[in-house]
Structure 1
Amino acid sequence: MNGATVAVVAIICWAIVSIFRGGHVLGKKDTLKIQRLEAESLKMTEQLNSMNERVAVLEKIVTDEKYNLNKEFENLKK
């Protein structure tokens, strides 16, 4: 075997051992970044769900017959 082959085999073995140990190829900084992104994603999902609920309430108000009737009365007053 030449030097390049030995280096490639060593790198592959290192990667396999790292994966089986649970260390994966990610460093500590990468893990922290992933945790931050997951937390931000959760926060944004909660905000989106809240906004969806608010839009549903607003849709009910706007499509309510009384709302339309009151709006027509307001337009007639002008």
Structure 2
Amino acid sequence: MTIGPFSVAIVAIICWAVVELINGPKGKKRNKKDDQDIAALQQEVLQCKERIATLEKIVTDEKYDLKREFENLKRDSAA
């Protein structure tokens, strides 16, 4: 299979479209509200990452597994 000029043009157009989608429309400047929204979203992502890290520590803790097993035994014996 050879790569012809048509294939190169198609790839170039696709790359250009992806860059345009990522960068957004030209000439549109972010305003203060956009910056505040971005900062708020970044803060929310940070908080979510911290919560996920905490949950991962809890779930991977050996004591958590042991407590869960005891709870399962209690439920099984009660049923």
* TM-score of the pair, normalised by structure 1: 0.56
Identical counterparts, % of pairs: 41
Which consecutive unaligned segments of at least 5 residues does structure 1 have? 1-25
Query: Which deviations, in whole Å up to 9, do the C-alpha atoms of 1:14-33 show, x marking residues without a partner?
Result: xxxxxxxxxxxx7xxx76x6
Q: 1:73 aligns with which of 33, 57, 70?
A: 70
Aligned equivalents of 1:43, 1:77: Cα separation in 2: 44
Structure that is richer in helix per residue:
1
Aligned equivalents of 2:59, 2:68: Cα separation in 1: 10
Q: How many residues align?
A: 49
Question: More relative contact order in 1 or in 2 (CA 8 Å, sep 6+)?
Answer: 1
Q: Which residue number corresponds to residue 64 of structure 1?
A: 61
* TM-score of the pair, normalised by structure 2: 0.55
Q: 2:33 aligns with which of 5, 13, 36?
A: 36
Q: 1:54 aligns with which of 45, 51, 54?
A: 51
**Dislocated runs of 4+, deviation >2 Å:** none
Which consecutive unaligned segments of at least 5 residues does structure 2 have? 1-26
RMSD: 1.7
Residue 42 of structure 2 aligns with an amino acid whose one-letter code is T
